Chains A and B, each alone.
Chain A
Amino acid sequence: MELNRRDLLKVLGLAGLGVAGGGALAACTTQGCATPVSSGDALLDLWTHDPGYATFFTAAATDAALVGGSAWSFGVDVTSIAPADIVSRLITQAVAQRPLPQLAGLVIDQFPRVMRADIAENLFVDLTSLTEPLGDRLLKTQPYSVGGKVYALESDNSVSVMFYRADLFEQLGIPEDVDTWEELLEIGAGVAADTGQAIGMVANGDNGSIVNGFVQMLLQRGGSLYDADGNLTVVSEESVEVLELMAEGVRSGAFIALSDPYGGAAAAALKESQLIATVMPNWYEVYGLQANVPDQSGRWRARTIPRFAGGGHVGSTLGGTAFAVLKDQELTDAATDLLQRAYLSEEGQLARYHAGAYLPTLVELYQAPSFQQISDDYLGGQRVFEVYAAAAQDMPIFYQAAGASVLRDSLGGPILRAINGQIGAEAALTVGVAMYERQVQQ
Chain B
Amino acid sequence: MSTTTTTTSTATKLRSDQRRWAPYAFISPFFLLFTVFMLAPVGAGIYLSLTDWAGLGEPEFIGLANYSRLLGDASFGAALSNTAFYTLFAIIVVLPVSLSIALGLDARGLKLRDFFRLVYFMPVVLSPIIITLIFGLIFDGQYGLLNAVLEALFGFGGVSWLTDPMWARVVVVVLVLWRWTGYLTIFFLAGLQAIPRELHEAAELDGAGVVRRFFSVTLPQLRPVTAFIAVTMLVNTAQIFEEPFLLTQGGPGEATLSVSMFVYRAGFQRHELGYAAAAGVIMFVIVFVLGRIGTRAFGVGRTR
A-B contact count (CB 8 A): 155
Known: A119-B54, A412-B253. A16 touches B40 (CB 8 A): yes
A208 CA to B250 CA, complexed, in Å: 11
Chain A residues in 8 Å Cβ range of B59: 24, 28
Kindly identify, within residues 45 to 69 of chain B, every residue whose CB is under 8 Å from any CB belonging to chain A.
47-48, 54-59, 69
Chain A residues in 8 Å Cβ range of B140: 259, 264-265
Known: A19-B40, A117-B56, A264-B137. A9 touches B271 (CB 8 A): no
Kindly identify, within residues 225 to 256 of chain B, every residue whose CB is under 8 Å from any CB belonging to chain A.
248-255
Chain A residues in 8 Å Cβ range of B10: none
Chain A residues in 8 Å Cβ range of B40: 16-17, 19-20
Q: Does B22 contact A (CB under 8 A)?
A: no
Question: From residue B78, how far is it (CB to closest CB) to chain A in Å?
Answer: 10
Residues of chain B at interface, number, CB under 8 A: 50
Known pairs A265-B141, A268-B142 / 10 extra A-B pairs, C-beta < 8 Å: A20-B41, A84-B269, A91-B55, A95-B55, A119-B271, A205-B251, A206-B251, A259-B163, A409-B254, A438-B74
Chain A residues in 8 Å Cβ range of B54: 116-117, 119
A369 CA to B221 CA, complexed, in Å: 84
Q: Does A188 contact B (CB under 8 A)?
A: no
Kindly identify, within residues 92 to 125 of chain A, every residue whose CB is under 8 Å from any CB belonging to chain B.
92, 94-95, 113, 116-119, 122-123
Q: Does B299 contact A (CB under 8 A)?
A: no
Contacts from A to B (Cβ < 8 Å): 3, 5, 8-9, 12-13, 15-17, 19-21, 23-24, 28, 30, 84, 88, 91-92, 94-95, 113, 116-119, 122-123, 204-208, 210, 256-260, 263-265, 268-269, 405-406, 409, 412-414, 416-417, 435, 438-439, 442
Of all A-B residue pairs in the complex, the 10 with the closest CB atoms, nearest first, are A413-B253, A117-B54, A16-B40, A20-B44, A17-B43, A16-B35, A12-B35, A206-B249, A268-B143, A20-B40
Question: From residue B166, how far is it (CB to closest CB) to chain A in Å?
Answer: 12
Chain B residues in 8 Å Cβ range of A23: 44
Chain A residues in 8 Å Cβ range of B253: 207, 412-414, 416-417
Chain B residues in 8 Å Cβ range of A256: 142
Contacts from B to A (Cβ < 8 Å): 20, 24, 27-28, 31-32, 34-36, 39-41, 43-44, 47-48, 54-59, 69, 72-75, 136-137, 140-143, 160, 162-163, 165, 248-255, 265, 268-271
CB of B271 within 8 A of CB of A24, answer: no
CB of A442 within 8 A of CB of B249, answer: no
Chain A residues in 8 Å Cβ range of B252: 204-205, 207, 210, 412-413, 416
Q: Which of A12, A94, A257 contacts B31 (CB 8 A)?
A: A12
